């Protein structure tokens, strides 16, 4: 049974509030359970030193705990919400030292104008996660898979977003009537860099 958490003195609830009778965009119908994370899962938490692998239901052997992949989504437009032409600041904030594993855009209204391309950046850098204009929507509906490309800066930022949270920003090549849902999947706080 789900329960709704009431904040005590000094606590605040996350911006996403579930359990709404009339949902606003981005709020789930059922209450969620907030965690500070990162979330870890597995049945052998600590290696026992034998080098053996656990069988079904066993809880000894070599540790097998892994990180749970997280996701955040927001609806973006080809227009602006920041005052800079074509720039759209998402409410997606990736926790520090996280690794981005996937970014996808579900285009629900075709992007228009002379160019139907965009780039994925952060509030600190418009080219943090892709080169400018690297994401091609082809002016069509459907899902677009986004990659960091071959730039060392973008690859490094996917591998580890850094020591501070980052807010995702989309910069369309030009303004237009395009709309889509951007989803960023990441492993919270894994703190790796190769």
Within-domain flag for 160:
yes
Count up the domains in the chain and report the number.
1
Within-domain flag for 33:
no
Residues 6+ apart with CB under 8 A from 55: none
Within-domain flag for 148:
yes
Instruction: Give the pLDDT of residue 80.
Output: 87
Within-domain flag for 29:
no
Q: Which domain holds residue 104?
A: 69-187
Confidence of residue 37 (pLDDT cuts 50, 70, 90): confident
Within-domain flag for 96:
yes
pTM exceeds 0.95, yes or no: no
Within-domain flag for 157:
yes
Among residues 27, 26, 30, the alpha carbon closest in space to that of 17 is found at 27
């Amino acid at each position: 049974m789900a329960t709704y958490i009431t904040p005590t003195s000094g606590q605040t609830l996350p911006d996403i509030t579930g359990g709404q009778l009339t949902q606003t965009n981005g709020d789930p119908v059922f209450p969620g359970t907030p965690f500070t994370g990162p979330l870890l899962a597995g049945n052998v938490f600590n290696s026992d030193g034998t080098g053996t692998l656990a069988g079904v239901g066993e809880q000894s052997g070599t540790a097998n705990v892994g990180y749970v992949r997280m996701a955040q989504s927001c609806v973006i437009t080809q227009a602006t919400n920041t005052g800079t032409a074509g720039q759209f600041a998402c409410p997606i904030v990736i926790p520090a030292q996280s690794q981005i594993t996937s970014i996808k855009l579900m285009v629900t209204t075709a992007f228009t104008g002379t160019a139907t391309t965009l780039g994925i950046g952060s509030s600190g850098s418009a080219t943090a996660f892709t080169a400018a204009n690297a994401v091609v929507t082809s002016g069509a509906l459907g899902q677009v898979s986004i990659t960091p490309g071959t730039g060392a800066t973008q690859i490094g930022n996917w591998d580890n977003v850094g020591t501070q949270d980052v807010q995702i920003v989309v910069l369309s090549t030009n303004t237009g009537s395009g709309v889509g849902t951007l989803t960023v999947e990441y492993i919270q706080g894994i703190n790796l860099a190769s």
